[in-house]
Amino acid sequence: MAGETAFAAPLTGRRARPSSEGAAAALSLGFTTAFLSIVVVLPIAALVWASRADGLQQFWSVATQPEAVAALELSVGAALLVTLVNAVVGTITAWVLVRDDFHGKSFVNAVIDLPFALPTIVAGLTLLALYGPKSPVGVNVAFTRTAILLALLFVTLPFVVRTVQPVLLELDREAEAAARSLGASELRVFRSIVLPNILPGILSGVALGFARAVGEIGAVVLISGNLPYRTEVASVFVFNHIQSGDQSGAAAVAVVLLLISFAMLLTIGGVRFGVTRHERA
């Protein structure tokens, strides 16, 4: 395949780069850095600055006020629970899509990406229609924490599925066949052969899903009712405090949210590194 074969020293050997190439290199790097700085780094810097504007003590007292803590606990708790469910069901779904065959499989495969394509507010509205006061199936969970879980399950559905699928596709089935022929049970085969290989994929999906779930607002804002201390998630807390002019309070909780997402991403990244290390050894 192109690129995989080792390419020996170029026919022309080392040659001084033509000046246009040097200029292009500098230009692309400069453009990238400038764009990233203006679009991403600057806003985040302003956020961090605002949160510590009144000093670290103020930051701490604002971030630990009861309503903020309740909102953050709810967001993190819900995101963790949803992530756990996704890890299991997402893997099962990926398995079914790769190893199984049935009518309409390609339709199901395509539809998995729907939460990526559908605006979150529309998702929230439809969940409200299906599982709210006017539910056609008689299920009314609007204004409860269950509603939040439902909304988050919707938006994070594709993550684990899409990170596990490619790994499952690549998996060499001979090892499994060998194990089976030696008398290992299906469960054993899965646990000792398949699982270690797909674990990095699951972990990636988990990390991305968590980061997404902990900050979600669109899908949650209609169906949860946003009741303080009960169904108000951290993103709604931040939104309300921006509206009421409390920018430093909003910034404090926003920064905490950010740190939580980063912590999760780093942890998962580290765990992935540890898990895959033995493969590289």
Partner 1 sequence: MRRYPLRVIALGYLLLVLLGPLAMIFWRSFDEGLGPLWTSLSDPNTVHAFTLTLIVAAIAVPLNTIFGVVCALAIVRRRFPGAGLVNAIVDLPLAVSPVVVGLSLFLLYGRTGWFGHWFQAHGIQILFAPPSMVIATVFVSLPFVAREVVPTLRELGTEQEQAARTLGANGWTTFWRITLPSIRWAVIYGVVLTTARCLGEYGAVAVVSGRVEGQTETATLRVQDAYENFDLAGAYGISLVLAVLSVVVLIAMTCFKPNQEERA
Partner 2 sequence: MLMNKAKKLTYAAAVLLALALATGATAASHSTSLSLVAYSTPKTVLGKIIQAWQKTPDGSGVSFNQSYGASTDQARAVANGLKADLVFLSTGDDVNLLVDAGLVNSNWSHQSYDGIAADTVVVFAVRNGNPKHIKGWADLIKPGVQVLTPNPFSSGSAKWNILAAYGAERRLGKSDAQATAYVKSLFRHVVSQDSSGRNATNTFLAGKGDVLITYESEAINSRLSGQDIQYVIPRQSMLIELPIAVTKTSSNTAKVNQFIRYVKGDTAQNLFAQYGFRPVVKSVLAKYANKYPARPGIFKVDDSYIGGWRNADKVWFDPNKGRMVQIERAIGGPSGG
* CB of 147 closer than 8 Å to CB of 231: yes
* Comparison of 65 and 248: residue with beta carbon closer to partner 1: 248
Q: Please tell me whether residue 206 binds partner 1 under the rule CB under 8 A.
A: no
- Residue/partner pairs of 167-175 with CB below 8 Å, 24 or more apart: 167/197, 167/198, 167/200, 167/201, 168/94, 168/95, 168/98, 168/99, 168/194, 168/198, 168/201, 169/98, 171/197, 171/198
Picked from partner 2, partner 1, none, the partner binding residue 20 (CB below 5 to 8 A depending on kind) is partner 1
Per-residue interface string for the shown chain with partner 2, residues 147-186, x marking contact by CB under 8 A: ----------------------------------------
Q: Does 217 bind partner 1 (CB under 8 A)?
A: yes
Residue 6 DSSP SS3: coil
* Residue 229 makes contact with partner 1 by CB under 8 A: no
* Count of residues of this chain found to bind partner 2 when the rule CB under 8 A is applied: 22
Question: In which residue are the tokens 């909304």 written?
Answer: 151
Which of partner 1, partner 2, none is residue 28 near (CB under 5 to 8 Å by kind)?
partner 1
Is the separation of the CB atoms in 214 and 261 below 8 Å?
A: yes
246 interacts with partner 2 by CB under 8 A = yes
Taking the complex as a whole, the smallest distance from the CB of residue 70 to partner 1 amounts, in Å, to 17
SS3 205: helix
51 binds partner 2 (CB under 8 A): no
Radius of gyration in angstroms for the set of CA atoms belonging to the chain, rounded to a whole number: 24
Nearer to partner 2 among residue 132 and residue 200 (C-beta): 132
Contact 52, 233 (CB under 8 A): no
> Are the C-beta atoms of 222 and 125 separated by less than 8 Å?
yes
Residue from 74, 94, 142, 193 binding partner 2 (CB under 8 A): 142
CA atoms of 47 and 45, how far apart (whole Å)? 5
Please report how close the Cβ of residue 199 comes to partner 1 at its closest, in angstroms: 18
Give min distance, CB of 58 to partner 1, in A: 16
- If one asks whether residue 227 binds partner 2 (CB under 8 A), the answer comes out as yes
- Residue pair 161/205 in contact (Cβ under 8 Å)? The answer is yes
Q: 61-80: which residues touch partner 1 (CB under 8 A)?
A: none
Work out how close the CB of 180 gets to partner 1 at its nearest, in angstroms, rounded to a whole number: 10
Q: Tell me the C-alpha distance between 142 and 127, whole Å.
A: 9
Question: Among partner 1, partner 2, none, what binds residue 121 when CB lies within 5 to 8 Å by partner kind?
Answer: partner 1
Segment near partner 1 (CB under 8 A); pick from 8-16, 63-71, 195-203, 224-232: 8-16
C-alpha 51/C-alpha 12 separation (Å) is 56
